[in-house]
Amino acid sequence: MRILSFITAIFITFASSANGISDWQLGFQTPASDVMRNVYDLHNFVLIMMTAITIFVLFLIFYVVFRFRRKVNPVASKTTHNTFIEILWTGIPVIILIFMAIPSFKLVYQQDIIPETDMTIKVIGHQWYWEYQYPEHDDISFESYMTPDDELEPGDIRLLTVDNHLVLPANKNIHVLVTAGDVLHSFAMPSLGVKKDAVPGRLNETWFNIDEPGIYRGQCSELCGTGHGYMPIVIEALNEKDFNNWIIEQKSKLALANEIPTKENTIE
């Protein structure tokens, strides 16, 4: 089991880049939160169990085919049942399912129960872009659109680059409120172990804690129309000092924008 888990970890490590994703990648993105690490560990555990069960069943099939073929058994057996074997093939799967269920329930509890948080953000899905609001920071808000192919710069990832990142502090418990302004969307960040549906007229909630500063990418994961494949999510995690400086900068921009008169509010 340890060898298979080690091989799986090595494979996923080589399949991932510094951004957690790479071309032709197989497997998960590099985990960037405790929740995702637990998802990763549970996935490996279930994969090992499935592999062992598959190999065992395949062995039984070959054994039955060769052991009870017509040439060796010209007279077919009339055995109808075997109580001991029936107890085994009922009891063993139950035990296996219990061993799978316990860590699974723990993970569901960890994902569902929101601990004491350090800040709250609100995510609103639209056709086809994301809107982010910071209700605890003077209602800072902005929209995030995918960067078109003809505007990509060297190093940008096609379909996974946006004009405005969702900027958040690292090593903080983030409370996320998710909703939609039109149709169903889904806010999904694989490296953080987060996938929460955005439902019009309903406020869903989740949480995450980003391990370290960096860029993390996700996408809308609910079919929402022709632009569904063009709703990337890019989270930029900063250390606490840089995040506070970013907040101050955004508040200054907001104050400046409120002071600039427009045609609608200018008295001639």
Q: Are residues 131 and 106 in the same domain?
A: no
In a domain, 266, yes or no: no
Q: Are residues 88 and 149 in the same domain?
A: no
Q: Are residues 248 and 148 in the same domain?
A: yes
The pLDDT value given to residue 138: 86
* Count helices and strands in the chain by DSSP H and E runs: 4, 10
The pLDDT value given to residue 257: 74
User: What percent of the residues of the chain are helix, what percent strand, and what percent coil, each to the nearest 5?
Assistant: 40, 25, 35
Query: Would the pLDDT of 217 be above 90?
Result: yes
In a domain, 267, yes or no: no
Q: Which percentage of the chain shows pLDDT scores above 90?
A: 72
In a domain, 130, yes or no: yes
Return the higher-pLDDT residue of 263 and 52.
Answer: 52
In a domain, 265, yes or no: no
Mean pLDDT for all residues in the chain: 87
**Residue where a domain stops, chosen among 112, 132, 147:** 112
Query: Would the pLDDT of 268 be above 60?
Result: no
Highest mean pLDDT: which of 1-10, 48-57, 80-89? 48-57
The pLDDT value given to residue 33: 95
The pLDDT value given to residue 260: 57
Query: Would the pLDDT of 263 be above 90?
Result: no
pLDDT tens-digit series, residues 126-162: 999 999 999 999 889 999 999 999 999 998 899 999 9
Q: Are residues 254 and 132 in the same domain?
A: yes
The pLDDT value given to residue 261: 55
Give CA–CA dist 148/93, Å, rounded.
Answer: 51
Q: Is the peptide bond before 130 cis (omega within 30 degrees of 0)?
A: no
In a domain, 243, yes or no: yes
Q: What is the pLDDT averaged over residues 219-237?
A: 95
The pLDDT value given to residue 80: 82
Domain count, the chain: 2
Return the higher-pLDDT residue of 266 and 33.
Answer: 33
Which residue's entry shows tokens 């090992």?
48
Q: Are residues 21 and 135 in the same domain?
A: no
Q: Are residues 220 and 183 in the same domain?
A: yes
Give CA–CA dist 124/131, Å, rounded.
Answer: 5
Confidence of residue 12 (pLDDT cuts 50, 70, 90): very low
The pLDDT value given to residue 9: 46
CATH code: domain of residue 243? 2.60.40.420
Q: Are residues 24 and 79 in the same domain?
A: yes
Q: Are residues 123 and 98 in the same domain?
A: no
Whole-number Cα distances in Å, 28 to 41, 115, 166, 199, 232? 11, 25, 22, 26, 17
Query: Would the pLDDT of 5 be above 80?
Result: no
Domain residues for 100? Answer: 2-112
Confidence of residue 21 (pLDDT cuts 50, 70, 90): low
In a domain, 264, yes or no: no
Q: Are residues 124 and 251 in the same domain?
A: yes
**Residue where a domain stops, chosen among 87, 112, 137:** 112
This prediction has a pTM of 0.79
**Residue where a domain stops, chosen among 112, 132, 164:** 112
In a domain, 221, yes or no: yes
CATH code: domain of residue 102? 1.10.287.90
**How many CB atoms lie under 10 A from the CB of residue 110?**
15
In a domain, 224, yes or no: yes
Q: Are residues 250 and 132 in the same domain?
A: yes
The pLDDT value given to residue 254: 81
Q: Are residues 70 and 134 in the same domain?
A: no
Q: What is the pLDDT averaged over residues 225-234?
A: 95
Q: Are residues 158 and 192 in the same domain?
A: yes
pLDDT tens-digit series, residues 175-190: 999 999 999 999 999 9
